[in-house]
Amino acid sequence: MADGPITDAEFEQAGLRLAVDGAVATITLARPERRNALTFSTWRTLARIGDTLPDGVRVVVVRGEGPAFSAGIDLRLFTAEGVPGEDALAPRDEEFIRGLQAGYLWLRRPDIVSVAAVQGHAIGGGFQLALACDLRIVADDVKFAMKEPALGIVPDLTGTKPLVDIVGVPRALELCLTTRTVFADEAARLGLAELVVPVADLGKAVDDLVAAILAVRPSTAAATKRLLRAAPGNTLEEQSAAERREQVALLSEPAGERSA
Ligand code: CAA
């Protein structure tokens, strides 16, 4: 993996843009003419964005330009011609996939809250990117679909765990093996969206959510995310102990720092 700052050429190859404004970083999938199809460069550059995120960033918004959030993997990778500048999709080992998964995994870090702003199609790797975020605000034209099994592969970009955590094993199995589309009403019902808004209101809805998150003191937000993320794997006793630990640490901070 390359070191140093991400160059314009690397952002271009990845089909990504990054804008950092104080405590908010916005990652834009910026290849609308291909419905923000994803390549190996996209996933590796996402990983580097995570590695190099400036201190002080507390919210990461992931959005897609154009009519779709993302149409998933660039299907040209499955062809003999491939995608210019990208590796061939030859038989690969697990380390190769680990490097791609790193692009999504950091979005769960406790020091940030990640928000996916999703309109239109979010397919395969695009659906998994939305699932990698802590929260999903969706437009009423959203269309989620896990298409990987139709291509003979499994969803391997860290999406199976959040999908099961949110919808349960039977529904996750049904969604993956039928590869059917989940529209906005069902997405809200299943918990795949925290909020559904008209397409034109998506940006404003995300801004409002970001403002609310930023109103909470950073250490409180981080402790809360750590606590809630750990809850499904803990017994009640373990979770109660975790609550005590986090609270005692927060209460030991100077009183003046207890507000945002
Ligand atoms: N890869 C490469 N190019 C894509 C693409 C993709 N996944 N999705 C769309 N495009 C391109 C189209 O080829 C088209 O290019 P041209 O203008 O040169 O013809 C352009 O984007 C616009 O596409 P459409 O005209 O099809 O746009 P639409 O709005 O009518 O439909 C769509 C959008 C429903 C997303 C449709 O394009 C589609 O079904 N795309 C393929 C979706 C798919 O199966 N993705 C793979 C998912 S599995 C996965 O992602 C695995 C993984 O992570 C490892």
pLDDT for res 7: 97
Question: Ligand 1 centre and the CA of 74: distance in Å?
Answer: 7
Tokens 């919808």: give the residue.
Answer: 167
Residues of the chain with pLDDT under 70: 1-2, 256-260
Question: Ligand 1 centre and the CA of 187: distance in Å?
Answer: 21
Question: Ligand 1 centre and the CA of 115: distance in Å?
Answer: 23
Ligand 1 pocket (Cβ < 6 Å) reads: 34-35, 37, 67-68, 71-76, 121, 123-125, 147-148, 151, 157
Domain boundaries, the chain: 8-214, 218-257
Question: Ligand 1 centre and the CA of 65: distance in Å?
Answer: 14
Q: β-strand 195-197 against 135-139: which pairing, if any?
A: parallel
pLDDT for res 89: 82
Choose which CATH entry (3.40.640.10, 3.40.50.20, 2.60.120.620, 3.90.226.10) describes domain 8-214: 3.90.226.10
The structure's pTM equals 0.97
pLDDT for res 260: 59
Assess contact for 41 and 29: CB atoms under 8 A.
no
pLDDT for res 4: 80
Tens-digit pLDDT profile for residues 56-78: 999 999 999 999 999 999 999 99
Residues in contact with 70: Cβ distance below 8 Å, sequence separation at least 6, in sequence order: 29, 35, 36, 37, 38, 64, 121, 122, 123, 125, 126, 129
pLDDT for res 2: 62
Tens-digit pLDDT profile for residues 29-66: 999 999 999 999 999 999 999 999 999 999 999 999 99
Residue nearest to atom 3 of ligand 1 (CA): 34
Nearest to 52 by CA among 106, 124, 129, 116: 106
